[in-house]
Chain A
């Protein structure tokens, strides 16, 4: 396959960026999208040009480090039926001769570092605000001290699969980080271990989310449509229910 790429190049956070066109030859359909970018970068290096910077690490769809906007869709889709991370998108999802636009996540809370690389540390700060159970090492009771209904455990798990990639923010017209925040709220809200801090957690995390410059959620649903882990949209309903309930609790007032 031969591909035409139009890639966002931006030297650093301060400079202006622009789309630059490159041709990539001899792309195999078994390659992942990132392997196709590797091919481009090898070529650029040999020509003495700077390779395109992009974040990636595990390349098996679980670390959450990769993610670019491909033809306007966060992580890209091509003709693949399922949402994936960029690293799990394969070139067989594109046709020979395709023209593909590649851009970084675009959101005020995720400033560009270089080319396709953005700073997502705002997500860590939302977790710091309360996305944990306060239990010191060594203080845990026996694992079977609490039984958890399988239904709730499964729901907790479904929410806990969030990989923190940020596609939800990139896809949202409001640049809201609500799906990410709601995934953590729901994960811990379903488990007995999460109950003592539940009202305070939701208040603190939503407060931090807003303070960091993420937009508000207006139930558009683009976030869940691109989420590679299929975090359900109803986690946001859970968050809203918990937030409202927390206003009637004394915790953290």
Chain B
């Protein structure tokens, strides 16, 4: 029963429901849980697998790997993506690397240490059983990828090279120049294409999922729109997997691909899947700063640059306009090295980002001043950039060695900014990059809707409140290659006994009608504002009030603004063209409508969590020296939200986080 949550912050905006808990991880020591679960899960006889259909939405590392692996296992897989080829999924843009506990460097690494670093890096807001399993299968991922022909960086002896990444003190990151995501995705894509050729996987490109079909309490299919013909179709299955990535584009400007969206997850949420920790957003510290108001996306510069680049701002405000090469050493503030002497430039992402913001808020930012509005609506000009300087590395290693490590990143920077980073320091600023929040799943990756599984960035499970570098690729592939193929069978083992669902089932008809009706509504409004103008306005609201620093006052303002924006959207958006055509405006309109609803939930979640943890920094909760202050006594839980209707109060279901294998500590990188 839902009761009024009158004691909790922001209680006017939600109601408190029953607690939720994972029931699938077996009891016993943490290092035995995964093998116990694999043994305990029900199996599907190989001869029965081809009688079972699994829908997988998304073709990135999680979706592509799952589709290939379940196809190999013999299931009948239907795989969907909105792009023109599965190889385009945005996993491809990940640059830096993938972690694995191989201990090839003989530097004290182990499964337990990778687990420990990930839980600590996530500021003790991740579920420890899932994270331990992630660390456990990490080594298998590298083996699998090498066997597929992924060309990881190698040393002259022919063995794999490693580097270190932010937030850890061991070298466990495997990489393929600055294109690790691309190479891993191509590996998964090739495995997937092999299964398509074998007939076990049917691939549907340029198909966007617009609704989940829940029949008799189980996820039994999806509704898609063919993005070329506009045809709205239903697809039925025994289980549905969403591997649809993150929702960082709620901020309009992010490092995500232009098409990345929340629609599949949000539609599932509206059908009963809990959405967990939506406010946990990762703002990546090393991105190319915003150039102007017509900018459509932000570009990340790999975090690996922090291994050799030194981050600084001028000590004096009056130096900020100067050519950085003319600012003498003693007038530079290498602020990360100053504040965090033991981790220096390699502090975790949330910390590096917030300190960059602090420096710019102090007026010591560099680069062009951009227009901003404060809470009272006053315009001001602020320089949003800090230097990432390689002059010391070039002196120490030589230009060629620096080019060998980071050449493609330097070229990319030069192409975008027109500046040469070998000669002048790069300018960087944080940008939205990844979301730790997502649909709530249990140990099996099953959501709160039976038969609906969620993998990769789309779920919430492994990164807590902050994700460490090189862990997203690890999680996507872990979920797709090794977790789902060993858990979904437990559900599918009973699927042959389920009642048949066909096109005439009321739930199928209802889902199909809902999609058609929504598309017609979007096309019929014919207002005066473009879809992008709404998206940009939403992005401004989210960045200002639900970005790197959040306050109670600001979040309440944001919720009011989002409510007003939603009303205006549904009465004044202009969508050109018709449904029965290739119509990119219509595609975007549906996505923005869902982002608006998600944005509101993110603000409610941020409002209720009156503590600072990881990527969620509440100004009211900080230590005397401005560091994030957690409140484990009140907030040691994952917040799983249940949808109750547009504009209605969502219901909060808390999942208590239990740490048996790890000791809870306040993070310190000093």
State the A residues within 8 Å of B (CB). 11-12, 28, 30-32, 34-35, 38-39, 42, 44-46, 48-51, 53, 55-65, 80, 82, 84, 88, 90, 92, 113-114, 117, 119-121, 123-124, 127-129, 131-144, 146-150, 153, 156-157, 160-161, 163-164, 187-188, 191, 193-194
| Cβ contact within 8 Å between A137 and B158 | no
Given contacts A59-B258, A131-B190, A132-B148, contact A50 B577 (CB under 8 A): yes
B88 interfacial by beta-carbon distance below 8 Å = yes
Given contacts A28-B292, A56-B258, A58-B257, contact A137 B415 (CB under 8 A): no
Q: Mark B83-98, 1 if CB is under 8 A from A, else 0.
A: 1111111101100000
| Residues of A with C-beta under 8 A to B530 | 42, 45-46
Residue of B nearest to A29 (CB): B418
- The 5 residue pairs across chains A and B that have the minimum distance between CB atoms: A147-B158, A140-B147, A132-B190, A128-B197, A157-B151
Q: Mark B181-203, 1 if CB is under 8 A from A, else 0.
A: 11100100111011011000001
Checking A34, A134, A153, A161 against B296 with a beta-carbon cut-off of 8 angstroms, the contacting residue is: A34
- Once bound together, how far apart are the Cα atoms of A138 and B483, in whole Å? 11
- Once bound together, how far apart are the Cα atoms of A226 and B65, in whole Å? 32
| Residues of B with C-beta under 8 A to A63 | 83, 87-90, 92-93, 257
Checking A11, A56, A187 against B149 with a beta-carbon cut-off of 8 angstroms, the contacting residue is: A187
Please give the distance in Å from A171's CB to the nearest CB on chain B.
Answer: 19
| Cβ contact within 8 Å between B93 and A60 | yes
Stretch of B232-240, B468-476, B505-513, B579-587 contacting A (4+ beta carbons < 8 Å)? B579-587
Extra A-B contacts (16), CB below 8 Å, given A28-B291, A120-B85, A146-B146: A38-B296, A48-B576, A51-B584, A59-B297, A63-B92, A90-B416, A137-B144, A139-B147, A143-B146, A143-B160, A144-B160, A147-B157, A150-B156, A157-B183, A161-B182, A191-B151
| Cβ contact within 8 Å between B65 and A150 | no
Please give the distance in Å from A20's CB to the nearest CB on chain B.
Answer: 16
Given contacts A113-B228, A142-B143, contact A160 B582 (CB under 8 A): no
Please give the distance in Å from A17's CB to the nearest CB on chain B.
Answer: 14
Residue of B nearest to A153 (CB): B154
B617 interfacial by beta-carbon distance below 8 Å = no
7 pairs across A/B with beta carbons < 8 Å? A58-B257, A59-B258, A63-B88, A84-B415, A121-B85, A143-B142, A187-B149
- Once bound together, how far apart are the Cα atoms of A148 and B155, in whole Å? 9
B102 interfacial by beta-carbon distance below 8 Å = yes
| Residues of B with C-beta under 8 A to A11 | 581
Given contacts A62-B92, A150-B158, contact A128 B194 (CB under 8 A): yes
Please give the distance in Å from B615's CB to the nearest CB on chain A.
Answer: 22
Q: Mark B472-507, 1 if CB is under 8 A from A, else 0.
A: 000000000110010000000000000000000000
| Residues of A with C-beta under 8 A to B148 | 132-133, 135, 140, 193
Please give the distance in Å from A30's CB to the nearest CB on chain B.
Answer: 4
Checking A44, A49, A88 against B412 with a beta-carbon cut-off of 8 angstroms, the contacting residue is: A88
B295 interfacial by beta-carbon distance below 8 Å = yes
Q: Mark B78-115, 1 if CB is under 8 A from A, else 0.
A: 00000111111110110000000010100000000000
Checking B149, B160, B585 against A188 with a beta-carbon cut-off of 8 angstroms, the contacting residue is: B149
- Once bound together, how far apart are the Cα atoms of A124 and B149, in whole Å? 18
- Once bound together, how far apart are the Cα atoms of A127 and B291, in whole Å? 39
| Cβ contact within 8 Å between A53 and B582 | yes
- Once bound together, how far apart are the Cα atoms of A172 and B93, in whole Å? 27
| Residues of B with C-beta under 8 A to A136 | 69, 72
B140 interfacial by beta-carbon distance below 8 Å = yes
| Cβ contact within 8 Å between B292 and A58 | no
Please give the distance in Å from A202's CB to the nearest CB on chain B.
Answer: 15
Given contacts A56-B258, A137-B191, contact A49 B576 (CB under 8 A): yes
| Cβ contact within 8 Å between A141 and B147 | yes
| Cβ contact within 8 Å between B146 and A193 | yes
Given contacts A90-B418, A137-B65, A148-B158, contact A128 B481 (CB under 8 A): no
| Cβ contact within 8 Å between B155 and A150 | yes
- Once bound together, how far apart are the Cα atoms of A65 and B260, in whole Å? 13
Given contacts A28-B294, A59-B257, contact A119 B158 (CB under 8 A): no
| Residues of B with C-beta under 8 A to A191 | 149, 151
Please give the distance in Å from B438's CB to the nearest CB on chain A.
Answer: 21
| Residues of A with C-beta under 8 A to B191 | 132, 135, 137
Residue of B nearest to A157 (CB): B151
| Cβ contact within 8 Å between A64 and B149 | no
| Residues of B with C-beta under 8 A to A61 | 412, 415
Q: Mark B578-620, 1 if CB is under 8 A from A, else 0.
A: 0001101100000000000000000000000000000000000
Please give the distance in Å from B77's CB to the nearest CB on chain A.
Answer: 13
Residue of A nearest to B229 (CB): A12
Please give the distance in Å from B591's CB to the nearest CB on chain A.
Answer: 13
Checking A59, A114, A131, A164 against B85 with a beta-carbon cut-off of 8 angstroms, the contacting residue is: A164
Residue of B nearest to A149 (CB): B158
B320 interfacial by beta-carbon distance below 8 Å = no
| Cβ contact within 8 Å between A42 and B194 | no
Checking A32, A149, A153 against B151 with a beta-carbon cut-off of 8 angstroms, the contacting residue is: A153
- Once bound together, how far apart are the Cα atoms of A136 and B70, in whole Å? 10
| Cβ contact within 8 Å between A133 and B190 | yes
Checking B412, B418, B485, B532 against A38 with a beta-carbon cut-off of 8 angstroms, the contacting residue is: B532
| Residues of B with C-beta under 8 A to A45 | 530-531, 574, 576, 585
- Once bound together, how far apart are the Cα atoms of A114 and B87, in whole Å? 21
| Residues of A with C-beta under 8 A to B89 | 63
